Amino acid sequence: MIGNKIGKYKIIELLGSGGNANVYKAKDIEGNLFAVKVLKVGKYPAFNKKYKRFKDEVQVVKSNQTAISGIVPIIECFLPPDPFKNTPWYSMPIATPLAHIINDDSSMYDIMECMEQLSSTLMQLHENGIVHRDIKPNNLYYYNDKWAFGDFGLVEYPQKTDLTAKGESVGPKYTIAPEMKRDAKNSDGKAADIYSLAKTLWILLTGEKAGFEGQYSDGIEKFNISNYRGKGFFVSLHELIEKCTSNIPSERLDIIEFNKVIKEWFEISQDFKRKNLLEWNYIFRKILPHTSPEVIVWTSPDDIVHLLDLISKIDSLNHVFVPGGGGLDLTKCTLSNELSYIELHFDYSIKKLMPEKLHLITFADAPEWNYFYLETKELHPTGLYGNQERYYEPVLELSPGVYVEPYHKYYGEVDGQPIPKDAREILLSLKGSFAFFAKGSTYNTISATYDGRHNNMTSNAFHDHIKEMIRHQQWTNENPDKARRIRQEKKERERAQREIERKEYERLKKDLKSKWEEIVSSVKMPTPPQQTIPGEVYFTIEMNDQYFENVYYVSHDNKLIIDSTGNLERVLHGRIDAKELLKIYDFNECEDYINMLNDLLFNFDGSDKIANRLYFDVDMHRVKKPAVHFTKDELTELLINANDKIYNRVVIQTDGNLRLITEEMDHVQPHGFVYKGWEFSAFENSLGKKSNLHHIDDIYFDLLSGWCFHLECNRRASRLSNEYYMGLSEEQLLEKIRIASEQYSK
């Protein structure tokens, strides 16, 4: 046929071949491309039936293609009385086969959009009494910006001459309904279409082109669509495909119901609470398919793991309220490596525990409140943390039941022995109970429930507590006006109470302000240090009084001066003469002076209320060129010789030397250093003899940045100074430091 003409079309290439016909790509005299379906003609007993079906296909498509847009239309046809003299054919526009668009990488949304359009079209066909009887992926196309059915070769429609013989099998190989295999003549074609469409949906979602045998069940691992798709909303699809692949045609949904489920899928997928609660109730129906007792209890670790793992397999389904307060999402539940233990897996931790009982609690009239309650056996502490009272202990598990402190992982050894490759960090749960609710449940939306209340009650008491919460919610829903009035009255009482507290606060503040101003105006300032030789830098003192929103500075003549401009930035911007400020050239003396000010200013009633809102700020200003500049070798030596079993912080002193601080500093102390640099927690092997100092380049660059900022801006640096020098090399930064140093006198 290639190169031949058929009607006004020249055949270009073969597009596909079936049992009854071939489909070719062709073009007309104007060069427009079309698809031409050509009947396979042959003198064999079944040919007459095939030709009649070919003509039926043409008739049903041409009769409905104007009113129904979701079918690939027929443009021209040739149906001769004697097909042996002239070959029958019809032409169609070129449509894109489904397989060219939908594949394993297609999103679930795209597949469901395809299915929604096809089911809408099938609904129109069924309304007109038309059944396709050959629904499968290969007969689906994308045409004119819409998904469409093609290949109506097995179509049935009203007034059609019945061509199906008794006992004849009619339908697509992988999606055919079982009754169509046995006796298509006496089977309901509409129910068969539903079966085939549901199987087609499964194929598109899983990518398994051969489909599956029998009725769908999500309990069969190789059938379950969620095992192929991962994240997504599957509950309504599990039920849809299961019902529509029933071996009993009358149990299947009709096309109107099918289409409704598909449309609702889009709505539910975008509504987290509705989706979540449907998924939650679906799990409970799987556990209790036929009965709904209020309370069930399991004690076997195997049963407990099976049940909790069920609720962890659906993405964002559950939220677990833990013993000490707060909550986490369970991502997996497994048996542990020790007999009688199980493990709860969360995003960033594993809790190992010994279960006592798992309670499943259901509420027939309020299923969103259904929950699991896990009681655990109390375990003895490991001894790694002394006698501290705690719900769990962070440990490094070397082997089942053998635990050490987690910090050993940083050293790779314990008592000189290498840590096993399968060692892991876990949280060993010593006691307490866990409550598992739907993530979208009302209980999970109440912030107060994160207080660990479930752990402070028995399982029965917590059950009663939830019942009371349900009753309150139901009463609120039934009496919205009363509930609104009660809420409003509560808000009014709270507002009135706040107003009383505000007035009392203002009265107290006014009284305190009067006393404060009296003290400030009459305070005899302590004698400042008498310095004659300037150091590398001088320090200035500023007091911030947040309670009364005043700022003061200490003047050169030793007075406390109120300053409305805000802070010591005014010195750098020339809004106040630096000569007016008290300068102290030794930080220790500056700190002593502040302590004396503290003693003077907090000596009256109500001072605690002021003390919590008053602090002294110190700013440093360089006078002399630094004596030295630290090097990377000096930094390396300092860190290698450090004791990593204690807290450390590397700082830059005013003379340019590095120093390690091994204790936490109060608010004022950091002001004594040019830069309060890198912090090292204890037992992390980030410094010391065993550390490889893999982070030395980052630390060095950070310290250089702080040092450069100080020299360029004549002030103490903060961690934010790094941002000024991002993108510079070490060499460029060192050159900037050299230039900045030259601005200071010897």
> Which of 32-46, 360-374, 460-474 is least confident?
32-46
Percent over 70 (pLDDT), the chain: 95
User: What is the DSSP code (8-state) at residue 419?
Assistant: P
Quick check: is 476 in a domain? no
Is residue 300 within 8 A of residue 324, CB to CB? The reply is: no
Choose one of 93, 113, 137: the last residue of a domain: 93
pLDDT in tens, 601-618: 876 666 666 666 678 888
Quick check: is 415 in a domain? yes
Going across the sheet that includes 402-404, the strands are 332-335, 342-345, 350-353, 424-429, 392-399, 402-404
Answer whether residue 465 shows pLDDT above 90.
yes
Say what the pLDDT of residue 545 is. Answer: 78
Same domain, 47 and 109: no
Residues 6+ apart with CB under 8 A from 338: 400, 401
Choose one of 270, 303, 325: the last residue of a domain: 270
- Cα Rg, the chain, nearest whole Å: 40
More confident residue, 615 or 285: 285
Same domain, 445 and 389: yes
Q: Please state, in angstroms and rounded to a whole number, the distance separating the CA atoms of residues 407 and 411.
A: 8
Q: Please state, in angstroms and rounded to a whole number, the distance separating the CA atoms of residues 172 and 191.
A: 14
Domain that holds residue 223: 98-270
Residues 6+ apart with CB under 8 A from 506: none
Percent over 90 (pLDDT), the chain: 70
- When pLDDT is cut at 50, 70 and 90, the band that residue 529 belongs to is confident
Residue 207 belongs to domain with CATH number: 1.10.510.10
Q: DSSP string covering 56-106, please?
A: HHHHHHHHHTTT-TTB----EEE--S-TTTS--EEEE---EEGGGT--TTS
Locate 600 and state its tokens.
């003077």
Residue of 623, 622, 600 whose CA lies nearest to 610:
600
CB atoms closer than 10 angstroms to residue 594? 23
Q: How far apart, in Å, do the first and last CA atoms of the chain sit?
A: 99
Type of residue at 187: S
Same domain, 109 and 163: yes
Q: Rounded to whole angstroms, what are the CA distances from 56 to 163, 193, 281?
A: 10, 18, 48
Burial call 667-695: b when 16+ CB within 10 Å, e when fewer: ebbbbbbbbbbbebeebebbbbeebeeee
pLDDT in tens, 345-389: 999 999 999 999 999 999 999 999 999 999 999 999 999 998 888
Q: Please state, in angstroms and rounded to a whole number, the distance separating the CA atoms of residues 700 and 633.
A: 10
Answer whether residue 548 shows pLDDT above 80.
no
Q: Please state, in angstroms and rounded to a whole number, the distance separating the CA atoms of residues 205 and 198.
A: 11
Mean pLDDT of 658-674: 88
Question: What is the average pLDDT value for the chain, to the nearest integer?
Answer: 90
Quick check: is 735 in a domain? yes
Same domain, 103 and 201: yes
Residue 72 belongs to domain with CATH number: 3.30.200.20
Say what the pLDDT of residue 169 is. Answer: 43
Same domain, 72 and 106: no
Please name every residue paired with 297 in a beta bridge, in sequence order, or none if there are none: 359
Residue of 541, 666, 546, 515 whose CA lies nearest to 612:
546
pLDDT in tens, 227-265: 898 788 999 999 999 999 999 999 999 999 999 999 999
Same domain, 615 and 689: no
Type of residue at 431: K
| 3-state SS assignment for residue 697 | helix
CB atoms closer than 10 angstroms to residue 320? 22
Same domain, 365 and 429: yes
User: What is the DSSP code (8-state) at residue 525?
Assistant: P
Say what the pLDDT of residue 159 is. Answer: 63
Same domain, 253 and 198: yes
For 90, half-sphere exposure in the C-beta direction (CA atoms, 13 angstrom radius) is 21
Is 746 flagged in the annotation as binding? Answer: no
Quick check: is 128 in a domain? yes
Mean pLDDT of 507-515: 84
Quick check: is 664 in a domain? yes
Same domain, 303 and 174: no
Quick check: is 483 in a domain? no
Q: Please state, in angstroms and rounded to a whole number, the distance separating the CA atoms of residues 171 and 112.
A: 23
Quick check: is 495 in a domain? no
Answer whether residue 496 shows pLDDT above 50.
yes
Residues 6+ apart with CB under 8 A from 134: 151, 152, 153, 154, 155, 171, 172, 196
- Report if pTM > 0.85: no
SS3 labels along 532-548: CCCCCEEEEEEEEECCC
Please name every residue paired with 76 in a beta bridge, in sequence order, or none if there are none: 91
Same domain, 303 and 362: yes
Q: Please state, in angstroms and rounded to a whole number, the distance separating the CA atoms of residues 475 and 478.
A: 5
Same domain, 561 and 532: yes
Q: Please state, in angstroms and rounded to a whole number, the distance separating the CA atoms of residues 528 and 583.
A: 9
Going across the sheet that includes 76-78, the strands are 5-6, 9-17, 21-27, 33-39, 89-92, 76-78
Answer whether residue 44 shows pLDDT above 90.
no
Q: If phi over 0 gives left and psi between -120 and 50 gives alpha, with beta otherwise, what is residue 349?
A: beta
- When pLDDT is cut at 50, 70 and 90, the band that residue 168 belongs to is very low
Query: What is the number of domains present in the chain?
Result: 5
CB atoms closer than 10 angstroms to residue 647? 15
pLDDT in tens, 380-430: 999 999 888 899 999 999 999 999 999 999 999 999 999 999 999 999 999
406, burial (CB in 10 Å: exposed 0-12, middle 13-18, buried 19+): middle
Answer whether residue 636 shows pLDDT above 70.
yes
Say what the pLDDT of residue 163 is. Answer: 41
Residues 6+ apart with CB under 8 A from 686: 410, 644, 680, 695
Quick check: is 127 in a domain? yes
Q: Please state, in angstroms and rounded to a whole number, the distance separating the CA atoms of residues 563 and 551.
A: 5
Mean pLDDT of 513-523: 82
Choose one of 223, 245, 270: the last residue of a domain: 270
> Which of 32-46, 158-172, 196-210, 333-347 is least confident?
158-172
Please name every residue paired with 624 in a beta bridge, in sequence order, or none if there are none: 745
Same domain, 297 and 405: yes
